[in-house]
Structure 1
Amino acid sequence: MRFDEFQESRQQRLAADPSLLDAAETNVYRALAALRPEPPLRPEPAEGDGDGTRTVYRCDLARTWLRRYDLPEQWSRRAMVSRGVRHGLDLLFRQLGGADARLWLPADVYPVYFELARAAGLAPGSYPTLPAPAPPQDPPTAGRPEYLLLANPSKPLGRHLTDAECAELAGWLERSPHRRLLIDAVYDLGTPFAPGTRRLLETGRAVLLHSVTKGWLHPRTFGIVLLGPDDSAMAEAFRGDPPGQEQLRLAESLLTDHPDTPRQVAEALAVRAERLLAALPDAVRAGIPEEVRSSPGNYFFPVDTPAEALLAEHGLLALPATVFGETRWGGSVLTSLADRFAPATPAPTPENAR
């Protein structure tokens, strides 16, 4: 079932039976709208000053981002500014298409990965991540570039990669000098990045993608694509398609004026996760791995039970795994974004009601 088909069915079921426990909301921007920083106000232009705004330089933002994530500032020449992970992948995939590269995508994470790849002229292969990542075992093609895209942490797996999984990916790299990783870290709300991500970066054969989409709740605004040491040929594509000044000013404001927002987002999601877990039947809650329950900033909770069984047996609306892409896994995914799991608002008192 496609995502849009499921959401239409979900709304119909909720309208028909409001007593259902909705654990299938996916719109994090609506759920956490109160935490979203407002764009900076444009200053009034002074006479003779044009529009009154100063220029924000991409190189300065790249260095600010590197400092925030405790990465070497000398990597700034490799830190390409984009309009977000989707934009970064679009540019990368077009470069890979021109190089006749082989591309592997997670089959059950984000269907847009495949849309972007095919639009770039690529015919991607796939590998499953549910119920656990299983990178492809195909032998390398002699001399042909080969890229594997992964997400850490992964949606809808709901957790970071384990040490063993990172070791398997490192082993995949080692089997050919022409292999590279593309790491989508947009769901990582912490600083610095997760140990597994840093370990894979240390191979020198990984490209990291990140943005303000989840941590600051501003999609398609600003992102960084940290190229590997040998990927300088890809840089020109980013320099030729930069964000506009309005987007760069917003990015500067988010990184410098609102550095604590990702922590606030993670804390709000932790509260929602606790409320979801408390509302679940014992048998369903027991099926959620402990590492998923405690993963910071997570709002995806996979279980082995099919969505239709959860609905029939427990009155629980969950996402079928198929809405995330092609999968043979028969389980489903719960989310903690519905209004039911929002933190309770304190009742007004005479003092704070004024």
Structure 2
Amino acid sequence: MKFLSQAAALALMVLSFTQATNVNAQEVHIPEICEFEQPENHNNLFNVTSPIILYGVVRIASDDANMPAGTPVSEWVDTNVGILCHVDGTYDFQADIYAADQMPVVVDGQSYVAGSLAGAHVGSIMKATLPDGTVLHASSAGVIGRVTLPIGTSVIRVSTRLVSMGRATPIPEGIIDLGFNNAHQMKINDAYDSQFVADPVPMFTRMKPMATVIFQANSCTPANIPSLVDIGSFSSAEAPGIGNAWQNEKEFGFTLTCPANVSAYAVFTDATNQGNLTDSLTLTGGDIPSGVALKLYSDQGNGSPISFGPEDIAQDNPGRFKLLDSGASGVTDEPVTFRAKLIQEAATIEDGIIEAKALVTLSYD
């Protein structure tokens, strides 16, 4: 799915820790209390990069152009942050929200402050799950709770979600990439500096949510898109010959309900290698057999395997192909079907297990 908005300024939401206890600067001298470890693309105190939060493609339905503020338009996306502490400590957990636009919203009964780019129709909210299971919601600027971190590594789960900002004007038709540079930041203010005890050292990690949001008044509604397709087992004794497919292909698909005079298109993206523009999915797993390829075919196509493309709806996307024209009356629950086929690519085939992941992006004209 995908998203839509107007961009002008950067949005920044910050979570920070500040040690709650006061210490005599003349008696205590500790160079480091806690430091960030580096799971999930996080870097340490002095070498920070922005791990990307991938919402993927978020599509807003045609009847949701005037969504109330706080209406979720994505699921929660979680990022685990590892924090290694060398001493026990209790800290104030603080949420600082630096966004061009800020709006109090209620989502699932909880209060948040949504932050967005100036004038954007879509913003983001944040919450943190502490090691003891306590959930803190970024509902205001300032201290929103306290956390005790023992010696060793603790993991805090930071979750973000995209929501409607409830603008007075309808969501404009079109597409926008929500590249909120440093949109979410988590920080610990270390109570001790290696030279100046009174000057805290910030330790932080930044998270950049990336989404493409689409709103189209003439969009279709998909249903029953499968999350898993089991293609079954294949015997090397029944190898069809180089360039041919085993007979036990697997059919899968979904349905589309479209208004009148709409053309629906699809792009399949190789989730393992999104730069893959070939017609063979990247095979994964611990025991990948040699001599085979997994290809997808569209029953709406010309019989050739589907070429993969990037996860976007640009008309010049090399993987874009037509699914249907809805005609003057539109269509309801119109099936679109595909087939997964295993192709022999070499004379010698080794046993193994294959897995592959593909994403499908729909667009409409």
TM-score (norm 2): 0.25
Which of these two proteins has the greater Rg computed from alpha carbons? 2
Which structure shows the bigger proportion of residues in helix conformation?
A: 1
Which structure shows the bigger proportion of residues in strand conformation?
A: 2
TM-score (norm 1): 0.25
